[in-house]
A and B are shown apart, each in its own frame.
Chain A
C-alpha cells in the first residue's frame, strides 16, 4: 500500500513537472503543433544554453515560445521567425549556424582535420612500405651473399 502510494506520488510529481515546463499553447491542429515543435527544437534557449527553446522551462523561453507561436499564427515563415530572433539574439539563438565568413572553420573544420589525418596516415604507410622494401631488398642481398 505504502509502495503504491509512493509510486503514485512520484508519477504525480513527474506529471506536474511536465505540465509546468510546457505551457499549453492553443494549437489548432496536429500539423501546426508539429511545425512549432520542429521550429523550437532548432532554437537555443538563451538562459539554459544547452537546452532548446522547445525543452526549456526558463521564463524567457516561455515568452519566446509564445512569440514564436504568435508569429506563426500571423502567417510568418520559419525563416522569417528565425530572422526576427537573430536580429535580437544573434546567430547564437540558432543551433544550426548559417554558413558565412565567421563560421567557415566551424563548418569545414572537421573536413580539414580529416584531410590532415588521412594525409598523415598516407605518409606513414608509404614511408613504412619504402622502409620494408629497402629492408627486403637488403635481405635479398644478404641471401645472395650467402650463396
Chain B
C-alpha cells in the first residue's frame, strides 16, 4: 500500500472513533448508572404510609406478588412528565403500583397528588432517603420492577414512557405472570 495514504487512513480512523462517540452518546443515557441490584433481592424496608404516617408498609406486606416501585417527589420536574403516563397506563400493568415519595414533605406530596391525581395503590415516604440508598436510587424518577419472589427484575432511570411500558415492562410482567400459577 502506498505509505502516502497513511495520514488519510489515520484521519479516517479518528473520524470513525469520534463518530462512534457521537452515535453512542445519542443512543445511550450517559447519566444512567447501571444497577448492580438487578437479579438480586430487593432490600428489606418498612416505611411510613403517606396517608397514615403512624402506620408502616414495606417489603413484608408486598411479598408474594410482583409490584412496580416508582420513585417520585413533588420537587421533581421530570416526574410531572411521567405522571400522566402512570395515570393513564398504570392500571393496565395489572400489578401493584407502589409510589415511593423520595425526600419530600408529606404536605407537598399530598398537594402534588391532589393536583395531578394519584395513580398509586399505596404511597410510602422516605424523607431521610436511607431506603432509597439501599435501592441504589440516584434521583427521581426511577422505577423498579420487583417479582413475586422479591427479586428486582428491571430498573428504569428517568421518566417512564409509553414505549418503556410497551417494550420493557409489559413483556416482563407477562413472563412473570406466566411463571406464577
Cβ contacts A to B, 30 pairs, < 8 Å: A47-B138, A47-B139, A59-B103, A59-B129, A60-B133, A60-B137, A60-B138, A63-B128, A63-B129, A63-B133, A67-B130, A67-B133, A86-B36, A87-B36, A87-B37, A88-B36, A88-B37, A88-B133, A88-B134, A88-B136, A89-B33, A89-B36, A89-B136, A90-B34, A90-B35, A90-B36, A90-B136, A92-B33, A92-B34, A127-B3
Interface of A is mostly: helix
Q: Which 6 A-B pairs give the minimum distances between C-beta atoms?
A: A88-B136, A46-B138, A90-B36, A92-B33, A63-B129, A90-B34
Q: Would you call A39 an interface residue if the criterion is a C-beta within 8 Å of the partner chain's C-beta atoms? A: no
With contacts A47-B138, A47-B139, A89-B136 taken as known, whether A60 is within 8 angstroms of B129 at the C-beta atoms is yes
| B interface residues (Cβ-Cβ under 8 A, vs A) | 3, 31, 33-37, 103, 128-130, 133-139
Residues of A within 8 A of B139 (CB): 46-47, 60
Residue on A with the closest CB to B137?
A60
Residues of B within 8 A of A64 (CB): 133
Closest-CB distance, A81 to chain B (whole angstroms): 13
Closest-CB distance, B141 to chain A (whole angstroms): 14
What total count of A-B pairs have CB within 8 Å? 42
Which of A67, A86, A89, A127 interacts with B138 by CB under 8 Å? A89
A107-140 interface bits toward B, Cβ cutoff 8 Å, 1 = contact, 0 = none: 0000000000000000000010000000000000
Q: Would you call A17 an interface residue if the criterion is a C-beta within 8 Å of the partner chain's C-beta atoms? A: no
| A interface residues (Cβ-Cβ under 8 A, vs B) | 46-47, 49, 59-60, 63-64, 67, 86-90, 92-93, 127
Complex: how many Å from CA A86 to CA B34?
11
Complex: how many Å from CA A46 to CA B138?
6
Closest-CB distance, B112 to chain A (whole angstroms): 18
Closest-CB distance, A103 to chain B (whole angstroms): 13
Which of B31, B33, B130, B133 interacts with A90 by CB under 8 Å? B33
Residues of B within 8 A of A92 (CB): 33-34
Closest-CB distance, A10 to chain B (whole angstroms): 29
Residues of A within 8 A of B33 (CB): 46, 89-90, 92-93
Complex: how many Å from CA A63 to CA B130?
8
Complex: how many Å from CA A46 to CA B157?
12
Complex: how many Å from CA A61 to CA B37?
20
Complex: how many Å from CA A47 to CA B129?
14
